[in-house]
Amino acid sequence: MTLAQGSGARLPQGSGPQGSAAGGPRLGSTGDVAPDVFVEYGKRFVEWIGEFLANPERYPVLARVSPGEVAASLPASPPVQGESLDTILRDFESKILPGITHWNHPGFFAYFAISASAPGILGELLAAALNVNAMLWRTSPAATELELRALDWLRQLLGLGDGWHGHINDTASISTMLALAAAREAAGLDVRERGMAGRTDLPVLRVYCSEHAHSSVDKGAITLGIGHENVVHIPADAEFRMRPDILRERIVEDRARGMLPLAVVATVGTTSTTSIDPVREIAAVVADSTRAVAATASAARPWLHIDGAYGGTAAVVPEMRGVLDGVDLADSFVVNPHKWLFTPIDCSALYVKRPEILKRAFSLVPEYLTTRETAPVENLMDYGVQLGRRFRALKLWMVIRAFGAEGLAERIRAHCALARTFASWVSAERDWEVVAPVPFSTVCFRYAPEGKSEAEREAINSRILDAVNASGTVFLSHTKLNGRYVLRLAIGNIRTEERHVAEAWRLLRDAAGVAR
């Protein structure tokens, strides 16, 4: 079925019930499109999405358009008069859809695979219609209270202890930046008020993370004025986990040089290999690091932030709860329901132990935003940069309720099992190798025929990747580990089944036969 009413070329403008004589949607001269027209088209959208969800494999997962092709198909200027929804939808199908890379496709194995589940899509639909801004409690009490409640549910699902304050941000990039800003505030340097430039009383600030940490740690430090060179990338062990002993050394060295260790970011599920930093040991290093120094305000222990944007979700599986071991010792923790918890993008959950510090870093209430309510009422705009806050809790709440704790666990468990199955196929095959442990649902591997140089292997694997991605049935991405080019298969879409993973493996082996 198509979104537009009829076949493209033959449909006269404005002929349907939605059309006005001028070809625009039926609407008053100043109002919105008429509600009955909305209902008519909304149902058509819903049917189209239903078919899309039932048969996502109709579409190539990786878009096949050339650069500039979509742009060239679009008029250079906006229309002077309103156009009918039929016309718009015809263009959506003919011009936009071919240029979509289908993240909601069961063959999407690149980066981290994500899902818009049916309950999540319905949640977004309702939230778009209500269009509330959850900046203040008053501006939608239910949005604020549901957000706090849904995040407490998620905390329980993950097996974390009491004493966490959770709120939703758009992305983990922002959540991690806020955590680093809280670390800066906690250091008691009066950066909020006085800034950092032109001051002679500030030490250099240092942030520590694994060499495998996500680039958002670097971006956060850059944004906050900490500086990219002050992000210390700690070497990892053979299994790609941050080495606490080296972390300890670097903190001591930096202190000795007069620098201030501001924050340590440990990752549960790094981006390349999904390795799990030893959080408990790192927390011990962080706790110890206060002893070595003078007891000035700015010499307090570093802030410990945990990036579990992808991997943290696995803790909803009771037998995998150990992946978050030690996280309760941290100051902040981020996990993204929009990554691996079937919630449409965007939805990132940031938990902090001391919300008052985050609030001290960001709260700023001009007169026009003052309200009468006092504690325990919370105005969630106080916890971050953004004043505009979508009602993201609604979709998360609907997802958690529709699947339940056991249903969520079952899906995550299945993804991890699929990844192990794929890894076993790779391991069993001559000239192929799994190059990192598989603690979650992502496998790093490569084709490594004997007698080839590393440069040749990179070229071969790159060709394999291109060939596989050109299939239209699966989409994988790559990374580099210790300088070696490797392929990644990341399972996370809710509709992925074993047959999709098997198809990826078949394509990979076929491509290797040609590429070598």
Q: Which is nearer to its own copies, 41 or 445 (CB)?
A: 41
Q: What is the DSSP string of 11-77?
A: --TT-STTB-TTSSBSB-SSSPBPHHHHHHHHHHHHHHHHHHHH-GGGS-SS--PPTTHHHHHS-SS
Which range of residues in 125-133, 245-253, 350-358, 423-431 is near its own copies by CB under 8 A? 125-133
To the nearest whole angstrom, how small is the minimum distance from the Cβ of residue 408 to its own copies?
A: 9
- Footprint of its own copies on 310-369 (CB under 8 A): 338, 342, 344-346, 348, 361-362, 364-369
294 binds its own copies (CB under 8 A): no
To the nearest whole angstrom, how small is the minimum distance from the Cβ of residue 74 to its own copies?
A: 5
- Footprint of its own copies on 236-265 (CB under 8 A): 258-260
Using CB under 8 A, pick the residue from 14, 60, 120, 166 that binds its own copies. 120
Q: Which is nearer to its own copies, 272 or 289 (CB)?
A: 272
Q: Which is nearer to its own copies, 259 or 329 (CB)?
A: 259
Task: Give the chain's radius of gyration (CA, Å).
Answer: 25
**Tokens of residue 199, six digits:** 């001051």
Using CB under 8 A, pick the residue from 21, 294, 295, 388 that binds its own copies. 388
Give every CB contact of residue 131 below 8 A, 6+ residues apart in sequence: none
* Cβ neighbourhood burial of 9 (10 Å; 0-12, 13-18, 19+): exposed
**Tokens of residue 28, six digits:** 């008053």
To the nearest whole angstrom, how small is the minimum distance from the Cβ of residue 430 to its own copies?
A: 27
Which range of residues in 48-56, 236-244, 448-456, 507-515 is near its own copies by CB under 8 A? 48-56
Q: Which of 490, 97, 78 is nearest to 270 (CA)?
A: 490
297 binds its own copies (CB under 8 A): no
Give every CB contact of residue 257 below 8 A, 6+ residues apart in sequence: none
Q: Quick one: how far is CA 105 from the chain centroid?
A: 17
DSSP SS3 for 136: coil
196 binds its own copies (CB under 8 A): yes
# residues contacting its own copies (CB under 8 A): 180
198 binds its own copies (CB under 8 A): yes
The DSSP 8-state label assigned to residue 399 in this structure reads: H
Q: Which is nearer to its own copies, 198 or 451 (CB)?
A: 198
Using CB under 8 A, pick the residue from 126, 256, 297, 514 that binds its own copies. 126
Interface mask (CB under 8 A) for its own copies, residues 56-95, using x and -?
------xx-x-xxxxx--x-xxxxxxxx-x-xx---x--x
- Footprint of its own copies on 395-434 (CB under 8 A): 398, 400-407, 410-411, 414
228 binds its own copies (CB under 8 A): yes
15 binds its own copies (CB under 8 A): no
DSSP SS3 for 425: helix
199 binds its own copies (CB under 8 A): yes
Q: What is the DSSP string of 302-330?
A: PEEEEE-TTGGGGGGSGGGGGGGTTGGGS
To the nearest whole angstrom, how small is the minimum distance from the Cβ of residue 281 to its own copies?
A: 25
Q: Which of 258, 208, 254 is nearest to 233 (CA)?
A: 208
